Amino acid sequence: MVSFVLLVPKKEIATLSRLGGIARNDEVRVDTGEKVNKGLKALEERVFGSDLCAACGACLSLCPYLRSWKGRVVKLDNCNLDEGRCFAYCPRTEVDLDEVYNKIFGKSYEEIEMGPVRKVMMARAKDPIWTKKAQTGGVVSILIDFALREGVIQAGVLTPRDGDLLPQGKIITSRKAVLSCAGSSYVSGPTLEALNRGPWKGQERIGIVGLPCQVLALARMKTSTLEKKTPIDRVDLVIGLFCTWALDYKPFMAFLHKRVSSLSIKKLNITPPPERILEVMAGKTLYRIPVDDIRPFIRPSCKVCLDMTAELSDISVGTVEGKEGWNTVIVRTAMGENLLKRAKNAGVIETRPLPKDNLSHLKEASLLKKRRALDALKEMGGIEKAYFTLSTNLIKRILSESGEALP
């Protein structure tokens, strides 16, 4: 029998023991308050050793012993520090979600459907230059461009890909640079390394576009009590991307090079359900690959991720199922709401209400992502897999409201 291992506050143990289905036969780790290593040694054991690295880049260019290589973080040497930023910023080490959400939003982790929400809508860029280059409605790109032109931010950290799809973080300050970063690669990359590395030339207001794991890492940077050696306090805008999974670069590219004759890949796109086809534009040829063929290359870290909609961002953006050319937009903060209002008033975007069926499906998908993460943890076992702290009441709600996980 596989055990479900969770990091649980000591006061919750009695309640957890009454959780049918999970707690009867499962192992629980109690936070006793004893001092443990929270440096590179622990990061290697709990994250790298368990293949749970999200390749977000939060630990890179801060530690002399870590480097990025072909979509992976590699250790160059040992470090004897008992506590380090590499561990503190990682989205797959011990995360107290209540603490993080309280510091970011001023309230606990309670809105389990898709995080704190002020408004939900569908939107798209009005200028076709953005919709042609971007993945769907062009909202992410146009908002960054608008924020730069209006002085809301002075620089952005985005994730372009090189000629072989390897995504790397890049500091951008112009419309041309924003356009060069438009589109998806479906491969995780160390975006946050660019934030840590710089160089920063006096820019005091920074915007970042990231996946849910990267957004969580940013929140951990902001809320960490360790001395900051990264310009996180200058990050004024975070735009999060919807994400159910990302691909591990090296094995995915090996697979792709066998299926695609040209290495000059211009664009990747995944068609919406029920078709679910990966479209690869290479040279002048369009290749169509069933999504099921690439599932073996999903990073293990994605399988234990609770967050589909980048809940800790100012604005979250995804597609709208059945509405080609439109983005779903979730506004979460005053900063996000003000930016979207200004962009709409300036005529650079248009918005419409998100249909009720789409909103309902989005909530269901987000909850299912959380349920699948709990299921994956149960299947994987191991104390180090339970990187988040959740109250037993929230675990019960996720299990009851998400229904049965899909096979």
pLDDT tens string, the chain, 407 residues long: the values are 333 444 445 445 444 444 433 443 344 444 555 567 899 999 999 999 989 999 999 999 998 999 998 888 999 999 989 999 999 999 999 899 999 999 999 999 989 999 999 999 999 999 999 988 777 899 999 999 999 999 999 999 999 876 667 889 999 999 999 999 988 889 988 999 999 999 998 899 999 999 999 999 999 999 999 988 899 999 999 999 999 999 999 999 889 888 886 667 778 888 877 778 999 988 888 999 999 999 999 999 999 999 999 999 999 999 998 888 999 999 999 999 999 999 999 999 999 999 999 999 999 999 999 999 988 888 877 434 568 888 788 888 888 888 754 43
Residue whose pair of structure tokens reads 């995804």 in the numeric block: 318
Whole-model pTM: value is: 0.89
- Grouping H, G, I as helix, E, B as strand and the rest as coil, residue 321 is coil
Domain boundaries, the chain: 6-111+365-402, 119-246+299-356, 249-297
Residue closest to 36 by CA, chosen among 77, 91, 93: 93
β-bridge partners, 7: 29, 389
Residue closest to 92 by CA, chosen among 397, 398, 307: 307
Q: What is the pLDDT of residue 172?
A: 96
Q: What is the pLDDT of residue 382?
A: 47
Q: What is the pLDDT of residue 262?
A: 61
Contact 182, 134 (CB under 8 A): yes
CA distance 120 to 105: 17
- Grouping H, G, I as helix, E, B as strand and the rest as coil, residue 317 is strand
Q: What is the pLDDT of residue 388?
A: 86
Amino acid at 80: N
For residue 260, the number of C-alpha atoms closer than 13 Å in the C-beta half-sphere is: 26
Q: What is the pLDDT of residue 271?
A: 84
Per the prediction, the chain carries an average pLDDT of 87
- Non-local (6+) Cβ contacts of 306 within 8 A are 369, 370, 373, 388
**Other Cβ atoms within 10 Å of 94 Cβ, number:** 19
Instruction: Output DSSP code: residue 102.
Output: H
Burial class (CB in 10 A: 0-12, 13-18, 19+), 274: exposed
